[in-house]
Amino acid sequence: MTISQAAGSVCTVSTLTSEKQETANSVNSQVICLPDTDCAIKSQASLSAFTSYRVGGAAEWYVAPRNLEALQASMKYAKEHEIPVTILGAGSNLLVSDRGLPGLVIATRHLRYSHFDPATGQLTVAAGESIPSLAWQAADLGWEGLEWAVGIPGTVGGAVVMNAGAHNSCTADMLISAQVLSPDGTLETLTPEELGYSYRTSLLQGSNRIVTQATFQLRPGADPTKVIAITKEHKQHRLSTQPYNYPSCGSVFRNPKPYSAGWLIEQTGLKGFQIGGAQVALLHANFIVNRGGAKASDIFSLIRHIQHKVQDQWSIWLEPEVKMLGEFQAAC
C-alpha cells in the first residue's frame, strides 16, 4: 500500500527533532508533512515502544497529532488516499502482531488538556490524558469519583471505548458525554446511552470513530486528605495483587460471571506456564507477562493455549479483554 504525496510535502527528519524519539526504531523512515499543521506522517515506525507489552512490528504509516485540527487533517489524509486507520492510545490493552500493521496508525496520546469546573463538578479531558494522572489530580483537589481509576494504565480515549473499570466502578458510571470524530471529519457528542455500554465494551469498539474528549461528573468539596488516602489504598491493592514488575496488558480475559478468569486459569494449573518469553503471571493468573524477549506470537499462542485448557476443564471459552491487532497465526 502506498500513500500519495500529492496532499503533503516531504520533510526531512531533521526538521522534526521533537518527534525523533517516537520513531527511533524506524528504518529509513519517510516523513510527510500535513498542510497547515505541525503534524507529520512517518513510514515504518516501530510500535513496540508504544505498547505496554513492548512487542509488535512496525506501522506502515504513523502519526501522532497534538491537537484536534491535526487529528482531523490526519483522518482527512487517510480518507482521501483510502488508507485504513488504526487508533492507538496508551497501548495498554493491545497486542500488536510481530508483522506490524498496514495503513495509518494514529496515536492519540498527545491529545492532552483537562479542565476541572468547580461550579458543576465536571471534568472535561482530551482523549490522550492519562487515567491514573487524572485520578491523582482529582484527589489532590478533593474531588471524589475517580479513586478507582488510579490503577488503570490507559488514556481517557481507551477508557471510554472499552468502559474501563475497577473496584466495582467503571467509566459508564460517571461519563456525561464523549466527543467523537468520524472519518468524514464530523464531530459528534454522544451520551452513555448512545454509546451502548456493557461490561468492558461499547458501540465504539470496532467502529471507525475516534474519541477526542470526554466529560465526567465528579463530586468536588471533599477533604483532599481523605480522597488521597482512598486513592492510595486502591493503588496499593493493585500493586499487591497484580504483577507490575514485567510488561503486560493488564487483565487478558473478561470475567465469565459468576467466575473470575484468573481463578479458572489458576485452577486449571496454568500459573507460571510459559511459551517463549510469555508467561502466565505467578501473582495473578489473568495476567500474561513478558518475561523478556517475548514476541507477540508467544503471547498470542499462550492466550490460545489458556482458552483451550480452560474450555477442556470447565467448558467455558474465555473471551479476551485485550485487543489483538494485525495478523496472527492460528494456534492449536
**What is the amino acid identity at position 122?**
Q
Residue 145's H or E segment, with its range, is: none
| SS3 state of residue 252 | coil
Residue 307: CB partners within 8 Å, gap ≥ 6? 317, 318
282, 257 contact by CB (below 8 A): no
Amino acid at 173: D
Residues 6+ apart with CB under 8 A from 15: none
CA 246, 250, 253, 258 dihedral sign is: positive
Residue at 169: amino acid letter: S
Tell me the residue length of the chain.
332
| Nearest-angstrom CA–CA distance, 68 and 327 | 30
| Grid coordinates of 90 | 496508551
CA 112/CA 297 separation, integer angstroms:
33
Catalytic choice (130, 200, 297, 301): 200
DSSP secondary-structure letter at 31?
E
Question: What is residue 163's DSSP assignment?
Answer: T
Set 19, 60, 129, 321: catalytic member = 321
Per annotation, catalytic residue among 48, 97, 248, 251: 251
Q: Are strands 94-96 and 85-88 parallel, antiparallel or unpaired?
A: unpaired
CB 289 within 8 A of CB 281: yes
How far is it, in rounded angstroms, from Cα 301 to Cα 69?
40
Name the residue among 284, 286, 167, 174 with its Cα closest to residue 234. 167
Please say if 321 is a catalytic residue. yes
Find cell 495473578 and name the residue. 284
The number of C-alpha atoms within 13 Å of 273 and in the hemisphere containing its C-beta is 19
Give the catalytic positions in this structure: 200, 251, 321
